[in-house]
Amino acid sequence: MDGILLVNKPSGITSHDLVMKVRKKLMTQKIGHTGTLDPLANGVMILTVGKATKILPYITNHDKEYVAVLKLGIRTNTLDVTGDVIEEREINKVTEEQIREVFKSFTGPQKQVPPMFSAKKINGKKLYELAREDIEIEREACDIVIHEIELLDFNGNDEIKFRVSCSAGTYIRVLCEDVAERLNNIGTMKELTRTRIDRYTLEDCYSIDEVSPDCKFVSTYDILSGYPYVEIEDLKPIYDGKKIQIECDEDLIFIVNNERIIAAYERITDNGIYASKRGLW
Residues carrying an active site annotation: 38
Give the burial class of 205: count Cβ atoms within 10 A of its Cβ; 0-12 exposed, 13-18 middle, 19 or more buried: buried
Residues 6+ apart with CB under 8 A from 215: 5, 206
Quick one: how far is CA 165 from the chain centroid?
11
CA dihedral 110, 115, 118, 122 (to 10 degrees): 80
Angle between helices 96-105 and 172-182 (to 10 degrees): 120
CA dihedral 146, 150, 153, 158 (to 10 degrees): 40
